[in-house]
Amino acid sequence: MVGSRHLRGTVLSRVRNLLRSGGIKKPPLWFPVVEAFPPLKETKLTRKGDEELMHKILYPEDEFRRLFYKRFNTSQPLSLWGEHHSYCDRFVEGCMEKVNMGYDKEKAVESIVRELFTGQSTAIP
């Protein structure tokens, strides 16, 4: 069953074995070149990755977005066409505006929650 062997060895070793066993008669055009100059790195799935870890990218508004979805379980559908402003978008924009005006994060969140759910939001169109 070929499916169980497809992860064993490199393409070079598999083609070499097929030629030796008679599975293919004529070597592929690229075979002599790759055999003369094999790849420098083994291209196996078992090869370890680079040790350097990727850093998480965090934006200031990510914290407000996380707070919104933790506090309010929303099921509002989003339109993928055109400009849409979901409750979460309005919440994040309002919180960022309040923080830029000098509010601390907790007061900004409470202020925007009050504005959004009482309909008094003047900060966001």
Evaluate if residue 121 carries a pLDDT over 60.
no
| Of residues 33 and 79, more confidently modeled | 33
Confidence band for 10, pLDDT divided at 50, 70 and 90: confident
d(C-alpha 118, C-alpha 65), whole Å: 20
List % helix, strand, coil for the chain (3-state, nearest 5). Answer: 50, 0, 50
Indicate the pTM of the whole model. Answer: 0.50
State how far the Cα of 116 lies from the Cα of 68, in Å rounded to an integer.
12
**3 state DSSP class of 51:** coil
Angle of CA points 34, 1, 45, to nearest 5°:
45
Looking at residues 74-85, what average pLDDT do you find? 73
- Residue 2, pLDDT > 60, answer no
Of 45, 37, 40, 38, nearest to 8 by C-alpha is: 45
The whole-angstrom separation of Cα 94 and Cα 100 is: 10
Largest CA distance in the chain: 80
